[in-house]
A and B are shown apart, each in its own frame.
Chain A
Amino acid sequence: MSDAATPAISCRHLWQVFGPNAKAELVSALAAHGRDGNAAAAELRAKGLIPAVQDVSFDVRPGELFVIMGLSGSGKSTLVRCLSRLLDVTAGDVRIQGEDIATASKARLIELRRKKLGMVFQHFGLFPHMSVLDNVAYPLRVQGIGRAQRQAKAREVIELVGLGGRESAFPRNLSGGQRQRVGIARSLVGDCEVWFLDEPFSALDPLIRRQLQDEFLQIRAKLNTTIVFITHDIAEALKLADRIAIMRDGKVIQIGTPSQIVLNPVDDYVREFARDVAKGRHARVDSVMKPAHGTLAEGPSLREGMTLDAALAACVAAQAPVAVRDGAGAVVGQIDPADLVSALHVEET
């Protein structure tokens, strides 16, 4: 593990262009437009090429759960394939724990994937000819680890995802939810440090999806991995994310915490996403908190990290600003109930 200051993943000016001669076309388009990404992308489109990812830059901190959200066709699946180098990037820089992925050799990539990276797929990507146990143990098998050892480790992970007892079943005998548990177990068996999940729950029905989201959060709490999670579902993004990047037409148009996204949508596109969200359940008091000044009235006090709904319920009778305290009970700020109400109703204006 590298030190905490190095981002777990860092990408700069990342481009993925599909079409003939993409690399040369991109270079010339960028040169012609003085590195203006939008203009260059427009020119590429006019020539019949497809800029699926345009000039994307962001950092993911170690241990962070970073969600990339966008509608289908927004380039999010392409982006995650650039990060894991299932696709060769057309231009730009991708670093994982400071190491340049885009130029890594074949051997080094195999090494990285065996030791550091794990990936879960939307349609599970299970090997149809292998049992659950063999599927999960496969990443260890390719490393040449002996049968007994790899199966013992695989059994542990299968237990972790709640599939104990189904080891000898084949993918075709499993339900969608169970299949994705196998997918998750397989990606975890190598003790990855960076975990990519490409719309892992999108192919499941809503009830199973919610159940797996909860289990996912539990698993995540046990691990210390950096996670890149792709979804098209805003509720899922808000529920899981530490930070969210919103993508449209190959560009990242906003990066922020769930509260920032919900309360300060950067444009109409994001606002459209946020509109259907019950804001009170996702935004936290931190987002409307102001620094504490003067003495605060006795009475109810709020806690850092509370959702707005909970805060409103707690101070519904209060007239004056209410204190916000941290876990230890120290005052970290204050909230005016009026701000709370207006934050919740910002949409109606």
Chain B
Amino acid sequence: MSALSEAPPAARPQLGPGTWAALVTLLAGALCLIFAPRLPWLTAWPADWVLLDTKSLSAWLEAALRFIRPAARLVSALLAYPMGWANALFLATPWPLFIGIVTAIGWLIGGAAMASLGFLGLVFVLISGYWAEGMSTLALVAVSVPVALLAGLAIGLLANEVPRVKGAVQVLLDVMQTVPTFAYLTPLVLLFGFGPVVGLIASAIYAAPPMARNVILGFERVETEIKEAAIMSGATRFQQLFQVEIPAAGRQIMVGFNQCLMAALSMVIIAAVIGGFNDIGWEVLLTMRKALFGQSLLAGLVIVAFAVVIDRMSGALAFERARHDRRVALAILGVALLATLLVWWRHPDPEAFRLLTPLAEAVDKGLGAFTASQGATLDALKNNAMFYGLLPLRIGLDDSVLPFTWGFQWTAWMSGAWFAVAALAGLALALSGRVTAGIALTIGLGIIETGIAQLPWPFVLIGAGALGHVAGGRRLALLSVVLLLAILVSGLWDRALLSLYLCTASVVACVLVGGALGLASAVSPTVWRVVRPVCDMLQTIPLFVFLIPVLMFFQIGEFSAFLAICAYAVVPMIRYTRHGLVETPPEMVEAATAAGATTWQMLRDVRAPWAAPTILLGLNQTILYAFSMLVIAALIGTTDLGQSIFLALGQADIGLGVSAGAAMAILAFIADRLVQGFARGQREALGL
């Protein structure tokens, strides 16, 4: 690059791969635009061209599943036993004793802070009146987590011991991470039948990959010399593994345990969608459907309390080293026993302590009053965002600009003018030396005119291929195109574009808001002190709970879905932006200071370029978060792939469920690989 800038200005600048990719995409877009009016199949994939529709896929899959169903039913019958035991145990344990046990464990793990966290969390559950439901949920987690832990450990060990399968295992884990949560459920329902066991199995399947990932990572991070020292000590492979490598990887494995627990809890709650079995997830869903938002919020907070207690305690297990006096834990247990004798004896029913119901009702009333008085404002907010932001992005200016909303009708003449302006703006940028940026601007303006949901498929395929080529070479380009083609021939293209649109809209919002918050947090420690606990909290809350507050204010609809996705997906953007900006090597900062840079110059010229790869990774996480929330958001009214997956679950339509789930996974997978490719390029450019 430096050689280029030193070349005399008369020399014709050579076009980089990025510029070529942008040019090819622009050309494809222009051609599609010209021919679209005459060739309707450019925008709408004809039904005749669908090679594998969801119905025939259903038939195929059901035929295949018939063979394993008896085995699956056996497993589910067998699993019903430990589940029954766990349920009975958790429900039969007197509540003061349970609170005491958790508090004592909290003390052992993290001293007074953890003990009080456990105590307060469970007391909240008690007075919320959802003790029994909460215990059912915990019982499910208690059975699914050991299964997931063992499976994860086994997969990790396998990948470590048999290097040949490691690559395949890692690809499988990548794919499992991108498959949306509901998509797991449909085949499982068909295999295992409705009921709590499906939730158990789904949660075990969902929670095993993070464990496996961390086990693999932990083994990789054990220093070579530590492994060699074990070998040279004359240890057998078994001794090396269990006496040295697993303990040395202990911290990473504990991180895996933490993530495994959280994933299991999250999935147990989501699995409530397939059937009520008196657990807390079902309670949230039920109250949400009845529009009892106060109750729903209360139940949601119970989930949050569980999540926070479980997360902080298992997290402390990985990072805390201090030991705490066992006698205090015993004393806590003693007090709990005493309380059991004194209180529980007379009030064995935790329902007696339901203290927060009036509060929930008050919230309901207050909310009703608020929406009644401020309804106009809320509606205006929602409608403005829909009409001037989301809709144009979805169906394009040409279809969304109507006299009813914008005050005038979009005409073909306006389209022409828009494209001319786009071309001129792009040209101006290109002439000032930023050719790629110019072309990208033109393409972007073109997309806004057309709308993401109405993009011609050849343009999307060529664009993805071109991006893939820049980010990861020919293989990624080919992979992207082939995978997108698979969505096309399965007849889910229109819904996939809707997912793409909703995801793009939320990611753009997250980048703007999250980037700004990250920047502010990087510049001002005070801001970070406020933002950080909020981020921690948002990351701990199971996806489901995000739906409650948006529903309270904006009812069912795309805008609520958009808000829920943003609330969940904005966190990584904030975190990574701040982290990248703050973690600039001190010697670079000192060099810039010595050169006389102001704070803003430092931010722009030194910190931002250094942070770019980190911020890209944050973007990557944000995209993946958005995709996973997209499916949950189907509960509150969307029309995309997520909705198909959700519908498939309700109708036990395995073909639709699997293909929509796969399509969603494909979109997330391609986005993930593209952004990772760009991040890698940035890191290499910085010599990292």
A113 touching B225 by the CB < 8 A rule? Answer: no
Contacting residue for A125 out of B223, B234, B235, B247, CB 8 A: B223
Interchain nearest-CB distance for B672 vs A (Å): 29
Give Cα distance in the complex from A341 to B228, angstroms: 48
A123 touching B236 by the CB < 8 A rule? Answer: no
Residue A127 interfacial (CB < 8 Å)? yes
Give Cα distance in the complex from A179 to B68, angstroms: 56
Chain A residues in 8 Å Cβ range of B232 = 84, 86, 113, 117-119, 187, 196
B248 touching A125 by the CB < 8 A rule? Answer: no
Residue A129 interfacial (CB < 8 Å)? yes
Give Cα distance in the complex from A190 to B225, angstroms: 19
Contacting residue for A143 out of B228, B234, B248, CB 8 A: B234
Binary flags per residue of A100-125, CB closer than 8 Å to B gives 1, else 0: 00000000001111110111011111
Candidate in B226, B229, B243 with the most chain A CB atoms within 10 angstroms: B229
Residue B239 interfacial (CB < 8 Å)? yes
Interchain nearest-CB distance for A112 vs B (Å): 8
Name B232's closest neighbour in chain A (CB-CB). A119
Residue A284 interfacial (CB < 8 Å)? no
Residue B231 interfacial (CB < 8 Å)? yes
Give Cα distance in the complex from A139 to B240, angstroms: 11
Contacting residue for A139 out of B225, B226, B234, B248, CB 8 A: B234
Give Cα distance in the complex from A84 to B225, angstroms: 13
Residue B244 interfacial (CB < 8 Å)? yes
Give Cα distance in the complex from A196 to B228, angstroms: 12
Binary flags per residue of B603-621, CB closer than 8 Å to A gives 1, else 0: 0000000000000000000
Contacting residue for B226 out of A112, A118, A119, A125, CB 8 A: A125
Residues in B214-247 with C-beta less than 8 Å from chain A: 223, 225-226, 228-236, 239, 243-244, 247
Interchain nearest-CB distance for A247 vs B (Å): 20
Number of interface residues of B (CB under 8 A): 18
Residue A165 interfacial (CB < 8 Å)? no
Chain A residues in 8 Å Cβ range of B234 = 110-115, 139, 142-143, 190
Give Cα distance in the complex from A11 to B234, angstroms: 22
Residue A128 interfacial (CB < 8 Å)? yes
Name A121's closest neighbour in chain B (CB-CB). B225
Chain B residues in 8 Å Cβ range of A117 = 232
A125 touching B236 by the CB < 8 A rule? Answer: no
Residue B250 interfacial (CB < 8 Å)? yes
Residue A186 interfacial (CB < 8 Å)? yes
A119 touching B228 by the CB < 8 A rule? Answer: yes
Chain A residues in 8 Å Cβ range of B239 = 142
Chain A residues in 8 Å Cβ range of B230 = 127, 138
Contacting residue for A128 out of B233, B235, B243, B248, CB 8 A: B248
Interchain nearest-CB distance for B240 vs A (Å): 9
Residue A133 interfacial (CB < 8 Å)? no
Interchain nearest-CB distance for B319 vs A (Å): 14
B225 touching A124 by the CB < 8 A rule? Answer: yes
Chain A residues in 8 Å Cβ range of B248 = 127-129
Give Cα distance in the complex from A229 to B228, angstroms: 17
Give Cα distance in the complex from A35 to B239, angstroms: 42
Give Cα distance in the complex from A122 to B223, angstroms: 12
Name B222's closest neighbour in chain A (CB-CB). A128
Give Cα distance in the complex from A129 to B248, angstroms: 6
Name A139's closest neighbour in chain B (CB-CB). B233
Chain B residues in 8 Å Cβ range of A89 = none
Residue A126 interfacial (CB < 8 Å)? yes
Name A144's closest neighbour in chain B (CB-CB). B239
Whether A126 contacts B247 in the complex (CB less than 8 A), given A84-B232, A186-B233, A190-B234, comes out as: no
Name A128's closest neighbour in chain B (CB-CB). B248
Chain A residues in 8 Å Cβ range of B223 = 123, 125
Candidate in B229, B234, B243, B250 with the most chain A CB atoms within 10 angstroms: B234
Name A134's closest neighbour in chain B (CB-CB). B243
Interface residues on A, range: 20 to 34
Chain A residues in 8 Å Cβ range of B229 = 119, 121, 125-127, 183, 186
Give Cα distance in the complex from A88 to B235, angstroms: 18
Give Cα distance in the complex from A111 to B244, angstroms: 19
Whether A123 contacts B225 in the complex (CB less than 8 A), given A117-B232, A142-B235, comes out as: yes
Interchain nearest-CB distance for A97 vs B (Å): 16
B233 touching A142 by the CB < 8 A rule? Answer: yes
B236 touching A142 by the CB < 8 A rule? Answer: yes
Binary flags per residue of B238-264, CB closer than 8 Å to A gives 1, else 0: 010001100110100000000000000
Binary flags per residue of B25-58, CB closer than 8 Å to A gives 1, else 0: 0000000000000000000000000000000000
Name B237's closest neighbour in chain A (CB-CB). A106
B233 touching A122 by the CB < 8 A rule? Answer: no
Contacting residue for A138 out of B225, B228, B233, CB 8 A: B233
Give Cα distance in the complex from A112 to B235, angstroms: 11
Give Cα distance in the complex from A112 to B239, angstroms: 16
Contacting residue for A129 out of B225, B228, B233, B247, CB 8 A: B247
Give Cα distance in the complex from A123 to B223, angstroms: 9
B233 touching A113 by the CB < 8 A rule? Answer: yes
Contacting residue for A113 out of B226, B231, B247, B250, CB 8 A: B231
Give Cα distance in the complex from A183 to B239, angstroms: 19
Chain A residues in 8 Å Cβ range of B235 = 110, 138, 142
Give Cα distance in the complex from A126 to B229, angstroms: 8
Candidate in B225, B230, B232, B233 with the most chain A CB atoms within 10 angstroms: B233
Give Cα distance in the complex from A138 to B234, angstroms: 9
Name A183's closest neighbour in chain B (CB-CB). B229
Name A141's closest neighbour in chain B (CB-CB). B243
Whether A125 contacts B228 in the complex (CB less than 8 A), given A110-B234, A138-B233, comes out as: yes
Chain B residues in 8 Å Cβ range of A141 = 243
A127 touching B225 by the CB < 8 A rule? Answer: no
Name A189's closest neighbour in chain B (CB-CB). B233
Residues in A160-195 with C-beta less than 8 Å from chain B: 183, 186-187, 190
Interchain nearest-CB distance for A159 vs B (Å): 20
Chain A residues in 8 Å Cβ range of B243 = 138, 141-142
Give Cα distance in the complex from A142 to B232, angstroms: 11
Binary flags per residue of A307-340, CB closer than 8 Å to B gives 1, else 0: 0000000000000000000000000000000000
Chain B residues in 8 Å Cβ range of A142 = 233-236, 239, 243
Name B235's closest neighbour in chain A (CB-CB). A142
Name B227's closest neighbour in chain A (CB-CB). A125
Chain B residues in 8 Å Cβ range of A113 = 231-234
Chain B residues in 8 Å Cβ range of A112 = 234
Interchain nearest-CB distance for A143 vs B (Å): 7
Chain B residues in 8 Å Cβ range of A121 = 225, 228-229
Name B247's closest neighbour in chain A (CB-CB). A129
Give Cα distance in the complex from A328 to B229, angstroms: 45
Give Cα distance in the complex from A128 to B229, angstroms: 12
Interchain nearest-CB distance for B2 vs A (Å): 28
Give Cα distance in the complex from A139 to B243, angstroms: 11
Chain A residues in 8 Å Cβ range of B225 = 121-125
Chain B residues in 8 Å Cβ range of A122 = 225
Chain B residues in 8 Å Cβ range of A143 = 234
Interchain nearest-CB distance for A298 vs B (Å): 57
Binary flags per residue of A126-150, CB closer than 8 Å to B gives 1, else 0: 1111100000001101110000000
Candidate in A125, A130, A143, A187 with the most chain B CB atoms within 10 angstroms: A125
Chain B residues in 8 Å Cβ range of A139 = 233-234
Give Cα distance in the complex from A141 to B243, angstroms: 10
Interchain nearest-CB distance for B435 vs A (Å): 36
Binary flags per residue of A190-214, CB closer than 8 Å to B gives 1, else 0: 1000001000000000000000000
B226 touching A86 by the CB < 8 A rule? Answer: no
Apart from A118-B232, A127-B226, A196-B232: 10 A-B pairs, beta carbons within 8 A: A81-B228, A110-B234, A111-B234, A112-B234, A113-B231, A125-B229, A126-B229, A129-B250, A138-B233, A143-B234
A-B contact pairs, 15 of them (CB 8 A): A81-B228, A86-B228, A110-B235, A112-B234, A113-B233, A114-B233, A114-B234, A117-B232, A119-B228, A125-B225, A126-B226, A129-B247, A139-B233, A186-B229, A186-B233
- 3 closest A-B pairs (Cβ-Cβ)? A114-B234, A125-B225, A125-B229
Chain B contacts to A: CB under 8 angstroms: 223, 225-226, 228-236, 239, 243-244, 247-248, 250
